[in-house]
Every structure is written in C-alpha cells, then in structure tokens.
Structure 1
C-alpha cells in the first residue's frame, strides 16, 4: 500500500495513474462539498473505499445526522471506487443513489465502507454501509455510476 495525502492506495493503483502522467492526488478528491462536510477518505481501492464524516455540522433541525449528509458520504465513497475501477481513461458519474436510514445520531463520527456489487465496462455499482462509532449500521446505500470516457486534452501543435 502506498499513501498520498493521508489516503492509502494499493501500489498498483498509484502505478497505473502515474504511468499515464495523471497526478492522483489532484484527480482524486472528495470535492468541495465533501470537504465542507468534513469527509475524509482514509483508504481507496477499486475493491474497497473507506471514509469518515463528523456528525457535528451535518445535522438536520432536530440535531440528528441529516439523511442527505449520509447520502453525500455514500455517493462520495462509491464514486471514488467507481473512478478507481474505471482508471484514468474513464470518468465516473453517479446515475442512481438509494439510501435507507436505520438510526439517528447526534454526535460522534460515522464511517462508510463502499464495496463493489458490479464492476463492468460501462457501469459500476457499489454498496455503501455507514456505521456509528460502535459499529452499528446507520445507513445502507447503493450507488450506480456510469463510466464515461475521460475528456482528452487538446492536441498540441
């Protein structure tokens, strides 16, 4: 396992992206929304993506973890897995997200783990299980991403 900016990547993933001249840390991101919500991806591979998110700052008016925050964590982790599966030649675009919320939380952190259900040439589906600090399931989610060809840089003269 190699590490970039605190995220553990399998060596073959790092090698695959760098061999094509792709700067993985700039290509790989939780995005602006994920950053504002405090999402931290701690492990990333096509077979498994793990990330955390604080409950504080991501609550609804009753003080409980917002279901939409769980959805953002789920889509972030599943999209990262799909992106790594597709490689630098593809862009992962979420097309379907389903979340079932099992329990409310008012404090602490949640951990999401995304594992593949299907990894094909044009789509990838991930199951994302979000748990509390005691390992109790908070949310079950499923994300399907379309794998589109990555835009090619303009030819130089």
Structure 2
C-alpha cells in the first residue's frame, strides 16, 4: 500500500502481536493472531488484543477501498467480546458495511479455532487525500 512507512516496520504493533494477513481484497480481509503472548492476567485473550486484530483487519480493508493517493485513518472502533479464547489462533474477517468518499465502515468478526464467534467489532475510518510528498 502506498504511503506505508517501511522504515518503521520493526515498530508495527500487529507484527509484535503475531498478526498475519492471510487474505486481502477490498471486499474481504482476513487476519490471524495467536492467543499465546496476547493474554490478560486470567489467562484469557486480552480484549485489547481483539481490538488490535479488529482494527488491523478493518484498517487494511479501508485502505484497499480508499483509492490511489488517499489514506484511511481509524475514527471509531467498537468491540463486543462474546466468549473467551484461551489457546490457539483467532481469525478476523473484515467486510465492508459502507464505503463512501470520506468514511468507510467495516464489520469485523473474530472466531476461535472451533469457528465460534469470540468478538464482533465495527470500525469506521475517515478517508483523506494523502498530503503532498507524504
């Protein structure tokens, strides 16, 4: 994606959390994340890890839909945590609910290894022109 700061790749939060993008298309972005290493003190997947996974998948989908010389920036994220994940890998699937000229909204469904929904999220991004020279 144009405009990505590759010089900061070692500081990207998704990489530190083990998030991998397995599918990317404007209509569907799929990302996975290991539960191990992303726990809260009770041994469950941290809600903030779910939020990071959801925002990563949704932001990539927004960027893919933004168009050439445009950027998508997170505006609002909402997560509902339905069930705990204790091990394995969780998978996020981001699909567009609305793709407009200035905003885009995506539904992100996170499931566990048994395909049970663990989290439902909604991300709205604002879409702006890329600053000249950025």
Cα distance between partner residues in 1 of 2:22 and 2:48? 21
Count of paired positions = 131
Q: What residue in structure 1 maps to residue 33 of structure 2?
A: 53
What's the CA shift for 1:87? 2.0
Q: What residue in structure 1 maps to residue 62 of structure 2?
A: 82
**In the alignment, is residue 129 of structure 1 matched against residue 127 of structure 2?**
no
Cα distance between partner residues in 2 of 1:80 and 1:92? 8
1:73 corresponds, among 53, 63, 68, to: 53
After TM superposition, which residue ranges in structure 1, 4 or more long, deviate above 2 angstroms?
none
Where do 5+ consecutive residues of structure 1 fail to align? 1-16
1:99 corresponds, among 79, 82, 95, to: 79
2:99 corresponds, among 119, 124, 127, to: 119
Cα distance between partner residues in 2 of 1:152 and 1:79? 21
Q: What residue in structure 1 maps to residue 126 of structure 2?
A: 146
Cα distance between partner residues in 1 of 2:39 and 2:107? 23
Higher relative contact order (CA 8 A, sep 6+): 2
Cα distance between partner residues in 2 of 1:58 and 1:87? 33
What's the CA shift for 1:105? 1.3
Where 1:105 maps in the other structure, the secondary structure is coil
Cα distance between partner residues in 2 of 1:91 and 1:32? 17
- What is the root-mean-square deviation of aligned Cα atoms in Å? 1.9
Where 2:12 maps in the other structure, the secondary structure is helix
Using structure 2 for the length normalisation, give the TM-score: 0.91
Where 1:59 maps in the other structure, the secondary structure is coil
Task: Decide which structure has the larger Cα Rg and report it.
Answer: 1
Using structure 1 for the length normalisation, give the TM-score: 0.78
Cα distance between partner residues in 1 of 2:53 and 2:42? 20
